[in-house]
Chain A
């Protein structure tokens, strides 16, 4: 299980970094989503090393750490807000420049 999660996190990281480095703005936005997911999964796996039983219940057994779950919850909300903002800006930029190629969005370069 741990190996599977580790491989998943690694693969997600690799894909997200590759996508972020693409010229297409929409592809790089997808890369940002994947990066957020990879890190959230990493945080989540940080807490489940102790056990698989939910915390603060009457179930017996090693309990999972609840704190990373709270962290992930916060991080998910923030990354969603950030994603909404980035997509909103992408919409404005796509309208204004009529392109999705990062190389052509370069009016700032003198």
Chain B
């Protein structure tokens, strides 16, 4: 049964290669179909993990030396399976959006192949149990994302992609250096073995590796000191891609933090958590203020990601099981909401006289599309954390866990800063659906734009998770309990009976 772990990686990989052979008009549908199968497989993965109650482990190749795995290890525990399901759900809807998009970029022969490689990179990075493989998959993710943005319809795409690729290459170099440092110290790169060895004795090189890994994940999740590439990059990417980049790809960094504090550097976790708490709060305030100050809808939402990821980091920073569960719920809900909002921003831009999400350009565009307004309003409410949407559930859980963890100062700050969310989302709504255009601007005419089924489905999910949040909360509580004991993960991966049988 452990072979299920391969499916969320292998299905998109096979699909990516087959897509190169497809005729042009079939590509979009084939890609969407492949993603649907892949999504189903990741759902199966989560349900299997749920049924076993432990981690699924696959030592691919089956090579062992002295009782330790030698080949590539794939591990699907609660955390990995939950994140894979989240990312594949959003990515599937990203493909649905791309299939109905009017962008020129989706017509390029290799667009869907590259988009599929993004899926492969993300799923692989989440499922691997080996630090070096994390580097390889993360690099795959970065290269696919960079190319997709560089060929974007937006004329600043190449510049933004260049900026992103630069910082990501340096982050990848840091990750590789961390791999080297850990290998010198412990002679292994398997995360379970590393967790065990670092728990016994942390060498100075391992502490250096901790700093490097922390910096790498900060770049990946666009956390405050390393956020500067993010608004440009997420605003310039093609809508379907930016919706997934800003919602699930940044969560790779969040996943990395969780692995750092619950598996690799458990003894040093308080230090990492204090850092995350600090940068999280700075990110919430800075992201919120910047989002209020921008003049472009997509850019505003990209800055908003900065703030929303901050909430997740604060949750991780408090570090109690309750607050980690809250952070996971927040991560899942934010993925859905942010993808929906960015898709709607792209859909509005595609209906504007000129294709751009600039506020001047999209003013009053919504008046001809009132139904979209309803969905945008619900999405805005979810982003701001108002009931009855899932945003309310996640904010409530974070605040609740903050009271329990007695983090009152952060609580006051993030409470005040979350009002900013309401300010900027409502400002965008007023712009697009209420204000009138200046006389000297081109008048808005009714225009067929990108298909709306994907953002509507995402808003539907957000609403559904708002009124029926129990399954998600149960799963995340289970995950937080699992993350409590690093030994459970280590035992599952280094199962001596299993190793002896091979």
Contacts and interface: CB of A to CB of B under 8 A. Distances in A.
B295 interface: yes
Contacts of B22: none
Size class of the A contact interface (CB-based, 8 Å): 20 to 34
B159 A105 contact: yes
A46 B173 contact: no
Contacts of A85: 143, 146-147, 165
B160 interface: yes
B166 A86 contact: yes
A78 interface: yes
Nearest to A110: B295
A107 B159 contact: yes
A90 interface: yes
B125 interface: no
B159 A35 contact: no
A107 B180 CA distance: 38
B180 A82 contact: no
A36 B173 CA distance: 7
B166 A74 contact: no
B159 A93 contact: yes
B177 A108 contact: no
A78 B162 contact: no
Does more than half of chain A's interface fall in helix, strand or loop, or is it mixed? helix
A30 interface: no
Nearest to A46: B184
B166 A68 contact: no
B176 A75 contact: yes
A86 B158 CA distance: 11
B156 interface: yes
A47 B187 CA distance: 9
B156 A74 contact: no
B159 A108 contact: yes
A50 to B, nearest CB: 10
A93 B232 CA distance: 16
Contacts of A75: 135, 176
A93 B147 CA distance: 14
Contacts of A90: 162
A53 interface: no
B184 A89 contact: no
B132 interface: yes
B306 interface: no
Interface string A42-60: 1100110100000000000
Shortest 9 CB-CB contacts between residues of A and residues of B:
A46-B184, A43-B180, A89-B162, A108-B232, A42-B180, A39-B176, A78-B139, A35-B173, A92-B158
Given A32-B169, A46-B184, A67-B183, 16 more contacts: A32-B166, A39-B180, A42-B180, A43-B180, A49-B184, A74-B132, A78-B172, A82-B139, A85-B146, A89-B150, A89-B158, A93-B159, A105-B159, A107-B156, A108-B156, A108-B163
19 contacts: A32-B166, A35-B170, A35-B173, A39-B177, A39-B180, A42-B180, A46-B184, A49-B184, A71-B179, A74-B132, A75-B135, A78-B136, A81-B143, A82-B139, A82-B169, A86-B169, A89-B162, A107-B159, A108-B236
